[in-house]
Amino acid sequence: MKKMTLGAILALGLFSGTALAQSAWTGGDDLPTSPLACDGTPAAAVSVPYDGGAPTNPPDRNGKKITVVDVPKLIGIGYFNATTKGILDAAAELGNVDAKTDGPTKANIDEQITFLDNYITSGVDGILFAANDPVAIAPVLKKALEKGINVVGYDANSTPDARQWFVNQAQFNGIAKALVDQMATEVGGEGGVAIVTSTFTTPNQARWIAEMAAYAAACHPKLKWLETVEAQEDNNLSFNQATTLINKYGDELKGIWGMTSVATPASAEAVTQAKACGKIAVVGLATPNAMKPYVGADCVKSVVLWNPVDLGYAAMHVLRQVADGTLKPGATSVKAGKLGELQVINGSEILLGAPYVFNKDNINDFDF
């Protein structure tokens, strides 16, 4: 299929010819889309040169015990508690890693840089990080590399040259496929659908929506796009926007996608209060804890995200292999303990895998 921008997709009405007059779309970007195969056939791997950084004169750490600090965006929230669990699980499994998590209590890049700088000064063998700002964090990570420290990112990347590898939780087209496939399953493959996002120009959400449009056009053409609305990552506004969609479209609305961890539970609450459970599907990105009441009540069937415990676990395994010198530029895959082999993509990224779907059978196994 020819790659198209979101603007072109919507202009051609690929969500079943819906008129754009219903909602002016001002988001998206000029990047091409790359929808995955409808039948789930993996995309062909493209060889891209390694574009990560390299530590300066690192000591021989092969097989030796190493000290690792994990500095995520912030500490004390369920999501990063879960990545920490994965890191500690992997460290215990490996047996030659002393790992801990430390960082700011709010998502502040200046505070995150201070934490990293302090650990570079005090001395560690490895750093794991999830960046609050990909550019602003780069100088302190480069400082770590210059000190011979191994640096691996996860969840939120830096500029590639500021770290060695990045463990990518999911690609845009993978998230898009999961969201659209789940919605199509729940609404019987056809009907009106709408989106509650944060803003039209939030980069990751604009990319997800672009890829969703391209994938739906190719694989679920009977889904009819009705409208995309902004909700600013605000719970009350998300609820109100979802309620407006329900009232505006009535029986025509068969499903709502929530593009944020705020919009999805708020949309589920709107559907609940409208007594439309079973009539309007809610599918979106959210944490299990926020969605357990709605899944338990059978108002929501599925929640799409990734498993942050596995994400931390994979990042720790990658860092250990980097320290051992067994993961080198040019590698096409990496072994990650119980997760098996993970694919190297985009030169210096390691893909965790397909997005994880939480449902009534598994959602209570998670606490974040």
CATH of the domain at 276: 3.40.50.2300
pLDDT at 299: 97
Number of domains into which the chain is organized: 2
User: Can you tell me the distance from the alpha carbon of 272 to that of 252, in angstroms, rounded to the nearest whole number?
Assistant: 17
Residue 71 pLDDT more than 90?
Answer: yes
367 within domain boundaries: no
If asked whether residues 301 and 186 sit together in one domain, one would say yes
pLDDT at 11: 32
Least reliable range by pLDDT among 33-47, 273-287, 316-330: 33-47
**Band of pLDDT at residue 205, cut at 50, 70 and 90:** confident
pLDDT in tens, 105-158: 998 999 999 999 999 999 999 999 999 999 999 999 999 999 999 999 999 999
CB distance 28 to 6 below 8 Å: yes
360 within domain boundaries: no
37 within domain boundaries: no
Exposure letters 254-268 (e unless 16+ CB within 10 A, then b): bbbbbbbbbbbbbbb
Average confidence (pLDDT) over 294-312: 95
If asked whether residues 185 and 298 sit together in one domain, one would say yes
If asked whether residues 109 and 234 sit together in one domain, one would say no
Average confidence (pLDDT) over 209-236: 94
Paired sense of beta strands 341-345 and 333-335, if any: antiparallel
If asked whether residues 146 and 229 sit together in one domain, one would say no
Which one, of 5, 45, 43, lies nearest residue 25 by Cα? 5
If asked whether residues 294 and 327 sit together in one domain, one would say no
Q: Residue 219: in which H helix or E strand, if any?
A: helix 203-219
Average confidence (pLDDT) over 193-219: 90
If asked whether residues 286 and 246 sit together in one domain, one would say yes
pLDDT at 311: 97
Range of the domain at 198: 6-32+172-305
User: Can you tell me the distance from the alpha carbon of 90 to that of 147, in angstroms, rounded to the nearest whole number?
Assistant: 25
If asked whether residues 209 and 288 sit together in one domain, one would say yes
If asked whether residues 148 and 124 sit together in one domain, one would say yes
Spatial neighbors of 328 by CB under 8 A, at least 6 apart, are none
If asked whether residues 334 and 269 sit together in one domain, one would say no
User: Can you tell me the distance from the alpha carbon of 85 to that of 269, in angstroms, rounded to the nearest whole number?
Assistant: 30
Mean pLDDT of the chain: 90
If asked whether residues 116 and 183 sit together in one domain, one would say no
**Band of pLDDT at residue 207, cut at 50, 70 and 90:** confident
pLDDT at 150: 98
CB distance 347 to 355 below 8 Å: no
**Band of pLDDT at residue 316, cut at 50, 70 and 90:** very high
Average confidence (pLDDT) over 17-43: 66
If asked whether residues 281 and 329 sit together in one domain, one would say no
pLDDT at 15: 44
If asked whether residues 244 and 315 sit together in one domain, one would say no
196 within domain boundaries: yes
